[in-house]
Chain A
Amino acid sequence: MRVGDDPRRRAILILLLLGLQVGMFIQYGIHTEKCPNYECIAEDYASYVGEQFRLGGTVVATEPLVIENRYAPGNTLRLTLRGIDRSLSRGARVVVYGRLQPGHTVTVQDYIVHEVANQRYMYAVSLGALLLVVLAGLRYWRFDPATFVFERRGEN
């Protein structure tokens, strides 16, 4: 079937594509429910001791360094990090690769840190860029509800 410019045909195809998209959301959701994930580690920590994972969280205490991951509403996993020698402030986002030790402690082999100020910069600049693209888009393109298309301004 040629889709062409017919609004009904395009709307049907868009709905089919969105259905495919939702199918992937669910399939990936099923995939991430398989252990190991944060929930599995939180609920059965002992059985993962000795294994290596990539784990992330927000710094909630600094002496010793503790991160908290809110993996679901109302559910958190708290881990003490060993092996990070630089000082971090509360609120910094940390992602580590390390080995789980008894007592909810991780010996860190590799890590990255998103400082609070840098997170703010990232969000501010991203919001600005989004605004820039939307405004530039509307400067050159115009949505026509009657035909259900974006048209280049200056055409027709």
Chain B
Amino acid sequence: MPDFLTHVLVMYIGLAIASWRVGWLDRPYIVVGMAGGLIPDVVKITLLVPAAQVEAILGIPFAWAPLARLGGSLVTAAVASLLVTTAHRRRVFGLLVVGVGVHLALDGVLARPGPASYDMFYPLTYWAPPLPDVYLSSDVWPSITASILAVLTYVVGRARRRA
């Protein structure tokens, strides 16, 4: 993952710009999309409860990794979309899935030594696409750049509403 902030802001920028054309895409929905951009990072539960600890307790092999991959992320999105009424469910699920897709794409271009990225399409395949190394998760510039663009997006959006 790049830091959470970059994921959240990239979703904000994309959805705020989309909202200039898509009438129903208002702030409550944009926030849902921003949350969707964090779904694969639910895997960070491992910082609180390491998989090895779960293995020790349950006595079976265990890994949180699917949460950060396609299959687990879609399941998380499906669970979340069952927590809204049918009136909002399709849109909420759609926004969460877009968030998941953008997150996996941003994670795919994280710098990793060696030939491939990671098995982001699990459980469909363990294949790790060869992708360029763009940034480190601990780099400062992605979140700074995203912050500047997010402020610009907000300012332009406000000017458009007033015009």
Q: B113–A17 contact, CB under 8 A?
A: no
Residues of B within 8 A of A121 (CB): 3, 138, 140
Given contacts A31-B126, A151-B85, A152-B88, contact A54 B4 (CB under 8 A): no
| Count of chain A residues with a beta carbon within 8 Å of a chain B beta carbon | 61
CA A145 to CA B5, docked complex, whole Å: 30
Out of A4, A96, A139, name the residue touching B113 (CB < 8 Å).
A96
In A59-108, the 8 Å CB interface with B consists of 71-73, 93, 95-98
Q: B53–A29 contact, CB under 8 A?
A: no
Given contacts A10-B82, A118-B139, contact A97 B63 (CB under 8 A): no
Q: A140–B27 contact, CB under 8 A?
A: yes
A47 at the A/B interface (Cβ < 8 Å)? no
Residues of A within 8 A of B126 (CB): 31
Count of chain A to chain B residue pairs whose CB atoms are closer than 8 Å in the complex: 148
| Count of chain B residues with a beta carbon within 8 Å of a chain A beta carbon | 54
Interface string of B37-69 (1 = CB under 8 A from A): 010010000000011110110001111111100
Q: B137–A149 contact, CB under 8 A?
A: no
CA A154 to CA B137, docked complex, whole Å: 38
Out of A26, A33, A126, A136, name the residue touching B31 (CB < 8 Å).
A136
Q: B139–A29 contact, CB under 8 A?
A: no
A48 at the A/B interface (Cβ < 8 Å)? no
Residues of B within 8 A of A109 (CB): 113
Residues of A within 8 A of B85 (CB): 5, 147, 149, 151
In A114-133, the 8 Å CB interface with B consists of 114-115, 118-119, 121-122, 125-130, 132-133
**Stretch of B14-22, B72-80, B152-160 contacting A (4+ beta carbons < 8 Å):** B72-80
A45 at the A/B interface (Cβ < 8 Å)? no
What are 26 inter-chain pairs, A to B, with CB distance below 8 A? Answer: A3-B86, A4-B86, A10-B83, A13-B82, A17-B75, A17-B78, A24-B66, A26-B61, A27-B66, A29-B62, A33-B61, A73-B52, A112-B112, A112-B113, A114-B137, A132-B8, A133-B8, A133-B31, A136-B31, A137-B32, A141-B28, A141-B31, A150-B84, A151-B85, A152-B28, A153-B28
